[in-house]
Structure 1
Amino acid sequence: MALFFDAEWFDARLAERGLSRRVLAAAAGMSEADINLAFKDQRELSAGEVGVFAELLGVDAREVADRAGISTPTPGQASPVDERLAALERRVAALEAELARLRRV
């Protein structure tokens, strides 16, 4: 598992497919500045970007996440913050439903 963004690995995969960083950025909806920051390990990839990179490079999303750094999420992997937010949203929805029920009584 890479501790930092493995730019050499990504560049090699891009070269194998005849692609450039610009194409990778465009496919992921990133600006050239964003892709350059990611390759310099100054910006983390989102789970969605990991998924796009994996598809374009023809590798597993876990491989992309590992090569992008240890804290990069893979698609479908919720972070603890995302899980807490989802739990809070469920509680708010339940409270709103209960409040609506009480207003009808």
Structure 2
Amino acid sequence: MALFFDQDWFNTRLRALGKNQMDVAAVLGLSPSQVAEIWKDQRELMPQEVAQLAKFFSVPAAEIADRAGVSTPLPQEAPGEGDMGAVMEKLDELGGRMMRIERAIVDLKALILDLSRKE
């Protein structure tokens, strides 16, 4: 894993594809100056940007993350058909969290009404 953004690797890949940083900017939906910040290791890549660059360069996302520096996160893979149990479990968990948040909001409203009546 590269400690810093591996400019040489990315520049070599761009040349091999006949592309440049302007093409990267278009793919990522960034300005040329934002791409320059990535190349200078002044801006971190987001997971979705890692995925987009992996497609652009036709390499695995892990390769992009490795070459982009130590703190570059890998994008999470979309769940496959066999992962529906995990998806449903996560939805159940989120549903429970939502119910607790809604209860807390009701409790806060009641507390605010109670305090406003006392004034």
Q: TM-score range by the shorter chain?
A: 0.7 to 0.9
Aligned to 2:98: 93
Q: Which runs of 5+ in 1 are unaligned?
A: 78-85, 100-105
Report the number of matched residues.
90
Give yes or no for the alignment of 1:75 onto 2:71.
no
Aligned to 1:25: 25
Q: Which runs of 5+ in 2 are unaligned?
A: 78-89, 105-119
Aligned to 1:102: none
Give yes or no for the alignment of 1:2 onto 2:7.
no
Structure 1 residue 94: deviation in Å? 2.4
Q: Which has the larger radius of gyration?
A: 2
- Listed one character per residue, the Cα deviations across residues 24-68 of structure 1 (whole Å, up to 9, x for unaligned) are 111011111110000001111000111111100011100000100
**Higher relative contact order (CA closer than 8 Å, sequence separation 6+):** 1
SS of aligned partner of 1:25:
helix
Aligned to 1:11: 11
Structure 1 residue 97: deviation in Å? 5.5
Structure 1 segments of 4+ aligned residues over 3 angstroms from their partners: 89-92, 96-99
Give yes or no for the alignment of 1:46 onto 2:51.
no
Structure 1 residue 98: deviation in Å? 5.1
Distance in 1 (CA, whole Å) between partners of 2:103 and 2:51 is 39
Aligned to 1:83: none
Distance in 2 (CA, whole Å) between partners of 1:23 and 1:3 is 25
Percent identity between the two aligned chains: 42
TM-score when normalising by structure 1? 0.76
Please report the RMSD computed on the Cα atoms of aligned residues, expressed in angstroms.
Answer: 2.4
Structure 1 residue 96: deviation in Å? 4.2
TM-score when normalising by structure 2? 0.68
